[in-house]
Amino acid sequence: MRCGYFPPDNLLQQYNQFYNNLKTHLTMNADTIGQMAGNVWAALNEAETVDTKQLKKLAKAKNERELFAALGWLAREGKVVFTQGEDKELLVSLVQDK
């Protein structure tokens, strides 16, 4: 006979799966940011100038944090330009080669 509360095995498995998925989605490192920067660059190369909402969809970023980390990476490399749109939204485009 068991004393106390022991959750069913399937509940523990669901919790572990949820925790592992959460940990995966929250973890960013140079590799994951670099990969997203490549996705953002490819999306901008196709679409030219877009706002951040469109860019998030085009680059298939999971969240805004991932998108802005990638944009920071590209900005540090001097590959993107930021401008303000008519509705004060942030527009992003690639730097044009001279």
Per-residue confidence at 14, pLDDT binned at 50, 70, 90?
A: confident
18-59 pLDDT, tens digit each: 766 666 566 778 888 999 999 999 999 999 899 999 999 999
What was the pLDDT predicted at 59?
96
Measured between alpha carbons, how far is 9 from 84 in angstroms, rounded to an integer?
53
Residue 88, both tokens: 């004060």
Kindly tell me if the per-residue pLDDT of 12 is higher than 80. Answer: no
Domain 9-94 in this protein, CATH class: mainly alpha
Would you say 92 and 71 are in contact if contact means Cβ atoms under 8 Å apart? yes
Kindly tell me if the per-residue pLDDT of 60 is higher than 90. Answer: yes
Cα dist from 50 to 23, 41, 45, 59, 91, whole Å:
30, 12, 11, 11, 5
What was the pLDDT predicted at 43?
97
**Residue found by looking up tokens 């996705």 in the block:** 39
pTM higher than 0.85 for the full model?
A: no
Domain boundaries, the chain: 9-94
